[in-house]
Homo-oligomer: A and B are copies of this chain.
Amino acid sequence: MNRRRSFSLVAFFVVALMFLSLSARADEGMWLFSDPPRQLLRQRYDFDPSDAWLDHLRLSAVRFDEASGSFVSGDGLVMTNHHVGLSSIYKISTPDRDLLITGFHARSLDEELKCPNCKLKVLISIEDVTERIRSAVASISDPAEAAERRSEEINSINRESKEKTGLHGDVVSLYYGGLYHLYRYKVHDDVRLVFSPAESVAAFGGDPDNFEYPRFALDVCFFRVYEDGRPAKTPHHLKWNSAGSKEGELVFMAGHPARTERLKTVRHLEFIRDATMPAVLDQRRRREVSLTAFSQRSVESSRRASMELRKCQNSRKARLGMLAGLQDPAVMKIKRAEEEALRRAAAERPELAAELETALEMMDQSLTAFAEIRDDYEMIGEGEAFQSILFSFARTLIGMAEEIAKPEAERSWGYRDSNLDSLKSRLLPDVLVYPDLEAVLLADSLSMYLERKGYDDPLVRAVLAGRSPPQRADELVRGSKLADPSFRCRLVEGGAEAIDACDDPMIQLARLVDDPAGDIRKIYERRVSEPQTRAYGMLAQVRFALFGESIYPDATHTLRLSFGQVKSYRLDGEPIPAWTTFAGLYRRAEDNRFAAPYSMPSIWVERKDRLEMDAPLNFVSTNDSIGGNSGSPVVNRNGELVGVVFDGNLPSLVWDFVFTQEEGRAVSVHAGAIIEALRKVYDADRLADELQRGSRK
């Protein structure tokens, strides 16, 4: 593995500068396990993790599809968040046995419930393949050709790895192409549900408590991986520590943060703050108001809108937090100082300085270009004007017919033979479409389109066809037969000819906007997204050339190590303690008369007296984390599990763009609370024993 490069004097100067600014965010970083922040840990926490310590933590960490977990016994037991396990738990529920309401508790191995299509991965090894990939493209000057060649080489490496080791290979591009690492995973595909609380307890506080702290959620569930029908042996698993960590104690997280955008230039962040984020929020608010008003019509309407409404509220709340962060001058000051420091560092190496200025200039130009085409791109190119499942069916059907008519090599990526099955699987099953809800959402988005582009726009006129937005939405939804899967199926099979002959109004609408949408997307790619990709590649490589791996790469949904400390904070002048307790949980429920989202199963009410009221329930720490970290184990310097992270507070929402440690915190469930609940509420001593002993027997 490539260790840190030697530093130039300049780089040293810059790093010194960065450290100055780091004083406010010293626990920053989603570090590679192949290159942990040893120096920082020594300086700040006098801690020097051994290779064995790191390997054990990495091999105990488990990757869920889009999130994280960890082995917590030698017999394949895996812990993650309830909200990470949610889709599996939902799938194995039945109308008679809704596990989201009842919770689940297997009292023996026999009762553990198999979860179809659930695959867990463990990162077995990391190999630097940068040189191999670079040499494969070294002689190619055309960027498009180079990109194609690079993809092929990556595919070969992944395939060879699988053949040679039997492990699943996955080449990861770090630092926007500064490094390429081959990650090899062991895949577990026999995964069974062991225990999950009711969702009311796991997501106690619902939307109002989402992204908030103090918090009172038992957001945890347990699975077990099997091999050959028996619990898998997992010697690398985390030792349970019910005592947890004290205020100020060093803690680590090992998980799979999905995506950060911390390289964003100041100009780009301003653009997000002033243009795109307000527009997205506007769209979310409109949708939320439409869904809320629709929900209130009847019990059935409320049921129909509930999943969409929940998604919408979550997204609105997350984005409001991000916007508030970007609107905080103190946050922007950090980003400006970073950019300035990078400029000063590059100044000493003219080729890097030139590269940097070119990259910044390209970014500025791309944003100017984006500002010009934004309305058309968002409304038509991205299809925001058409918030309708039926419209998206129509758009996919038309794209499919057009592309499939071409020879395979000329098709867009999404329509190659290898992707057709996944495309069809999105089109063909019996997706529930509620015409009343469709019409409400489409009417609102058509109105938004009209408001953004005005009545004089010829495409707006053609789309509305002489009707008002609600009238037009109604006529499109009522007139379309696309809700019928067999109708869609016939159109898929009939190809371009069937589409051309089709007089379904939604198909006709999608055909009307197909060309303008394609045109604006091409302009967007040429003038916005391609220049941005290249500019960020250049920026990342300038940073990498100056600082190497002393700077962690942006998150890539792969295993990272973050460090921090359990730490209280002040918010709006109020002190916020590092822990909440069971007493706090009951107080919050009682204050809200146990009404949803503050309800709890009756067993929690009946057994209240058994619980230690002052025992910690949730806690916060300064660990750098983001979506995808959900379910990551929190361990102390002995590598013992002290909690499991499940959320970040409101001030942490800006961590997409910049880490801020004054008020931002990750929120975890305390290891002791899990044992307390298992033993005293659920009589799940068997499971609690396994956790505390580290094995079934």
Chain A residues within CB distance 8 Å of chain B: 206-208, 270, 273-274, 278, 282, 285-286, 288-289, 292-293, 296-300, 313, 316-317, 323-325, 327-331, 443, 447, 450-451, 454-455, 464, 466-471, 474, 478, 572-573, 591-593, 595, 597
- In the bound assembly, the distance between CA atoms of A208 and B591 in angstroms comes to 28
A635 to chain B, nearest CB (A): 33
Name 19 A/B residue pairs within 8 A (Cβ), A-sorted: A206-B296, A207-B293, A208-B293, A208-B297, A273-B455, A274-B455, A282-B282, A288-B289, A289-B289, A289-B316, A293-B313, A293-B317, A299-B592, A324-B469, A325-B468, A327-B450, A327-B468, A329-B466, A478-B572
Query: Closest B-chain residue to A598, C-beta based?
Result: B298
Contacts of A330 in B (CB 8 A): 466
Contacts of A470 in B (CB 8 A): 324
Contact across chains for A592 and B317 when beta carbons are under 8 A apart? no
- Choose among B289, B327, B467, B597 the residue that contacts A328 (Cβ–Cβ < 8 A): B467
- In the bound assembly, the distance between CA atoms of A474 and B288 in angstroms comes to 25
Using known A-B contacts A274-B455, A468-B324, A572-B474, determine if residue A292 contacts B293 with beta carbons closer than 8 Å: no
- In the bound assembly, the distance between CA atoms of A469 and B326 in angstroms comes to 10
Using known A-B contacts A285-B285, A289-B316, A593-B299, determine if residue A454 contacts B274 with beta carbons closer than 8 Å: yes
Contact across chains for A296 and B207 when beta carbons are under 8 A apart? yes
Contacts of A297 in B (CB 8 A): 208
- Choose among B274, B325, B455 the residue that contacts A451 (Cβ–Cβ < 8 A): B274
| Across the A-B interface, the 9 shortest Cβ-Cβ residue pairs | A328-B468, A208-B296, A327-B468, A278-B451, A208-B297, A285-B285, A285-B289, A474-B572, A299-B592
Contacts of A443 in B (CB 8 A): 324
Query: Closest B-chain residue to A474, C-beta based?
Result: B572
Contact across chains for B468 and A296 when beta carbons are under 8 A apart? no
Contacts of A206 in B (CB 8 A): 296
A6 to chain B, nearest CB (A): 41
Using known A-B contacts A592-B299, A595-B299, determine if residue A447 contacts B327 with beta carbons closer than 8 Å: yes
Which of A207, A298, A468 gathers most chain B CB within 10 Å?
A468
- In the bound assembly, the distance between CA atoms of A282 and B573 in angstroms comes to 32
- In the bound assembly, the distance between CA atoms of A589 and B296 in angstroms comes to 13
- Choose among B313, B467, B471, B592 the residue that contacts A298 (Cβ–Cβ < 8 A): B592
Contact across chains for A270 and B455 when beta carbons are under 8 A apart? yes
Contacts of A208 in B (CB 8 A): 293, 296-298
Contacts of A447 in B (CB 8 A): 323-324, 327
A65 to chain B, nearest CB (A): 29
- In the bound assembly, the distance between CA atoms of A413 and B13 in angstroms comes to 66
Query: Closest B-chain residue to A571, C-beta based?
Result: B474
- In the bound assembly, the distance between CA atoms of A206 and B285 in angstroms comes to 22
- In the bound assembly, the distance between CA atoms of A331 and B468 in angstroms comes to 9
Query: Closest B-chain residue to A274, C-beta based?
Result: B454
Contact across chains for A471 and B285 when beta carbons are under 8 A apart? no
- In the bound assembly, the distance between CA atoms of A285 and B284 in angstroms comes to 10
Contacts of A285 in B (CB 8 A): 285-286, 289
- Choose among B328, B451, B467 the residue that contacts A329 (Cβ–Cβ < 8 A): B467
- In the bound assembly, the distance between CA atoms of A143 and B636 in angstroms comes to 81
Contact across chains for B327 and A469 when beta carbons are under 8 A apart? yes
- In the bound assembly, the distance between CA atoms of A599 and B460 in angstroms comes to 43
Contacts of A466 in B (CB 8 A): 329-330
- In the bound assembly, the distance between CA atoms of A590 and B299 in angstroms comes to 10
Contact across chains for A478 and B270 when beta carbons are under 8 A apart? no
Query: Closest B-chain residue to A206, C-beta based?
Result: B296
Contacts of A324 in B (CB 8 A): 443, 447, 468-470
Query: Closest B-chain residue to A296, C-beta based?
Result: B208
A606 to chain B, nearest CB (A): 23
Contacts of A474 in B (CB 8 A): 572
- In the bound assembly, the distance between CA atoms of A464 and B323 in angstroms comes to 15
Contact across chains for B296 and A329 when beta carbons are under 8 A apart? no
Which of A289, A316, A324, A464 gathers most chain B CB within 10 Å?
A289
Contacts of A292 in B (CB 8 A): 288, 292
Contacts of A595 in B (CB 8 A): 299
A668 to chain B, nearest CB (A): 22
Query: Closest B-chain residue to A327, C-beta based?
Result: B468
Query: Closest B-chain residue to A278, C-beta based?
Result: B451
A46 to chain B, nearest CB (A): 35
A441 to chain B, nearest CB (A): 14
A453 to chain B, nearest CB (A): 10
Query: Closest B-chain residue to A298, C-beta based?
Result: B592
